A and B are shown apart, each in its own frame.
Chain A
């Protein structure tokens, strides 16, 4: 059954979209990742204009993260003060990201920028995940235990503008969470990702936040920042397709449920290697598309109205 998407302005099979939502939802439930960095490339592969794919995916992530954020909030798993600082950074970042996006869209370079950003980030993240999971499998075979020690003081502790975060029991400079939030905001605006894959490690390894508030706080920030991205893209480029976002969400909700159940039965390291390989395959496909001479060198676009 074909469905006409009003903003993407293409006709596409609704079951294909549901399956994509379900598939990525399944993976995100299984691996506990957001899935934006897989969904956006998939949408581009099936013919959704890249700019619409990015903006719509931001909208879908708002929906995908809100119920998780609420659940963590009820359990006291959110450091609201830290979340607020991250959101301020994210709001500024998404504003600049959206501005870059709008300018590049007007000059015909937005598709290229999206592809380059994906090749770069998927390459780095896929590569790191692959190396890390291979290492931990080898470590488990040898029976080593990870070394736990008192954390070292780093340059981060020397930054000014310190703030007290009661929930996380921390006293750190506001500059670091602002910078992390800002980077995530830029990525959300130009790549259509939540940015959890960067924010979660940054919160753990750079800010040394307690694990029990990391996921909740990052979901809390993602909900607000992707909402801000949705709004900015709606205003600047009219590329948010609500119909597409809702269809993907339906698939994702169902898929995530099933994925979470399967994920419990599988071993962590093998799972991570699978995910790493998947990420690298998507990365390779996008890289090849950039390098191979396209069949058609010319492309046509209507003269966009810039507000």
Chain B
């Protein structure tokens, strides 16, 4: 009776072992989980790194050579919290360019970046990229107002061009390096005007057109120190901020006049 039980447990253990040996495991982390925007802030970089525990025998893949179906691909998507945004289009009114038509975009990211080991359309099918929301072309952008398909494309493209110009949206393919099919690292850049709030970092492990694993890590972006205080104060207590701004100006102006009178004799 006892020996049968041991045999059963042994089999179970053996099954578990083969399971872990065949399925991939991925561990990821960020160089930091909070980014503080201080007065010297002029943009920053974030390192996203991780390790893959291989699910296939090493000798199946050629080292240093990318082999479809055998080597791993990584897609990293970083996005900020979502907000409604307004896109305006300038049109010629008489001799001058005036903001005329506008569309409201529903719940779009203030920051969106995607990087990958290879061009995205080599890694996954368009449908899969869409479901992962990986890639600027695949990004779902919805409008609050009803919009014609012509306008939809024009406003969508205009929006993405704007965000790319501000370095708030970007796509970099082929910049993630995977070392020995085990270690990978991705570097993401954030401009000085990055929105604050909670970000989400998604790392997807792909092989042979199939998403094997997805890991998610939070990233918090806040204004630190005096800047955060000033920003919060201005937006949460506008009348008091106004009064303080006036008092500070009156005092600074008086002090400036006083000092320059002293200095000029």
Contacts and interface: CB of A to CB of B under 8 A. Distances in A.
Partners in one complex: yes
B253 A249 contact: yes
Contact of B245 (A3, A230, A253, A301): A230
B210 interface: no
A19 interface: no
Interface stretch (B154-162, B181-189, B198-206): B154-162
Given A4-B41, A291-B95, A298 B88 contact: yes
Interface residues of A, number: 59
A240 B144 CA distance: 30
A94 interface: no
B246 A230 contact: yes
B40 A1 contact: yes
Q: Is the interface of A mostly helix, strand, loop or mixed?
A: helix
A254 B257 CA distance: 10
B157 to A, nearest CB: 8
B218 interface: no
B140 interface: no
A5 to B, nearest CB: 8
**B interface majority secondary structure:** helix
Contacts of B227: 4, 6, 243
Given A11-B42, A297-B158, A67 B230 contact: no
Contacts of A4: 37-42, 192, 227
A187 interface: no
Nearest to B240: A234
Contact of A298 (B40, B95, B159, B231): B159
Interface stretch (A31-39, A55-63, A206-214, A273-281): A55-63
Contacts of A294: 90, 97
Contact of A253 (B43, B89, B192, B259): B259
Nearest to B100: A108
Contacts of B98: 109, 112
B235 interface: yes
Interface in A262-297: 290-294, 296-297
A174 interface: no
Contacts of A257: 260, 263-264
Contact of B192 (A11, A67, A256): A11
Nearest to A235: B238
B144 to A, nearest CB: 9
A64 B253 contact: yes
A136 interface: no
Contact of A249 (B37, B95, B96, B256): B256
Contacts of A246: 248, 252
B90 A240 contact: no
B250 interface: yes
B104 interface: yes
B241 interface: yes
A68 interface: yes
Contacts of A116: 96
Given A62-B253, A63-B256, A290-B96, A302 B245 contact: no
B256 A253 contact: yes
A291 B96 CA distance: 5
B125 interface: no
A303 interface: yes
A301 B192 contact: no
A59 B243 CA distance: 11
Contacts of A240: 234, 241-242, 245
A227 B248 CA distance: 11
A300 B159 contact: yes
Contacts of A64: 253
Contacts of A6: 223, 226-228, 230-231, 234
Contact of A230 (B37, B104, B249, B263): B249
Contacts of B162: 296, 298-300
Nearest to B108: A300
A108 B100 CA distance: 9
B6 interface: no
B249 A60 contact: yes
Nearest to A293: B97
A3 B40 contact: yes
A219 to B, nearest CB: 11
A125 interface: no
Given A227-B246, A227-B250, A231-B243, 4 more contacts: A230-B249, A253-B257, A291-B96, A297-B89
7 contacts: A4-B227, A6-B223, A63-B249, A66-B257, A231-B246, A253-B256, A297-B90
Interface of B: 37-43, 83-92, 95-99, 102, 104, 110, 154-155, 158-159, 161-163, 165, 192-193, 223, 226-228, 230-231, 234-235, 238-239, 241-246, 248-250, 252-254, 256-260, 263-264
Interface of A: 1-4, 6-7, 9-11, 59-60, 62-68, 70-71, 108-109, 112, 116, 223, 227, 230-236, 238, 240, 242-243, 245-246, 249-250, 253-254, 256-257, 290-294, 296-303, 307
